[in-house]
Homo-oligomer: A and B are copies of this chain.
């Protein structure tokens, strides 16, 4: 092939490193490594894949921050705020482009069969995530916030559970050499954990201090994000309050001005009103209860599924993760 010319890249790779160097939790690589080792696989069999999963996560964050117009990410300004939309969109694309080669190199590392299965999982993951993101953007576009819990669960399954839990756990299991049936079963039982994780994420956005959280405090309300908390609060509100809340949610967070036109944006008071109906409806406690229920279901299913696995700190980590998922503060 043509010799690569890596000296001229406009600083692309330095910008790709910004989010990964901001001390994320590295949850996805940790999860895939833990599953691989708990099932008797070697670290080397999963490490590059684990890195690719973290790369995907960070690419999604870069693009999400553009889509949500977020100001803060991991306690620093978002890439989009620092460098603008064009650079942020392209840095995310560059990260997605980087993800393919290490998965091809897996062939020499773990053999053709496993490498191809991991490629299939990652390909599916990227599609599910885009579909999930699209469902939510479509709700935003239709200015629709009246959804059942089932709609929310389906959204989270695609938008966040697939790339945060399902793909890392399935990839780890493949790398360890588990059968297709076992890999699928592990993927299935992981879904409730992914849902519990996202509900806790929504809770943190509304109840943490900005300092420990690292993202925009109440950013979800400013943005009008479809959280279980907000969906519950709207469902439980009086019709007049619900109408007022929906009118607020329909207003944008920021406005793009072109040839003089201007749009009404949300005010501090209006976001405070949303917070008020959430408090009055007990929606945060409700969300905590639901998250707990999903986390418990994961633990129960993992107990059954992992009966034949030898005891290990990696297996213990997976159980601890269920508690961490709903107890974490960032």
Contacts and interface: CB of A to CB of B under 8 A. Distances in A.
A94 B93 CA distance: 11
Contacts of A170: 1
A102 to B, nearest CB: 10
Interface string A84-100: 11110111111011101
A129 interface: yes
A90 B96 CA distance: 13
A130 B93 contact: yes
Given A5-B154, A120-B1, A134 B67 contact: no
Q: Interface residues of A: mostly helix, strand, loop or mixed?
A: helix
Interface string A255-271: 11110001000000000
Contacts of A91: 130, 134
A87 B134 contact: yes
A127 B90 contact: no
A231 to B, nearest CB: 16
Given A5-B154, A137-B86, A97 B123 contact: yes
A131 interface: yes
User: What is the copy number of this chain in the assembly?
Assistant: 2
A94 B10 contact: no
A10 B100 contact: no
Contact of A10 (B4, B83, B122, B138): B138
A100 B100 contact: yes
Interface in A54-97: 63, 66-68, 83-87, 89-94, 96-97
Given A10-B131, A63-B89, A63-B93, 13 more contacts: A2-B166, A2-B184, A2-B187, A5-B157, A8-B131, A10-B137, A66-B89, A68-B86, A83-B141, A93-B130, A98-B127, A100-B123, A255-B258
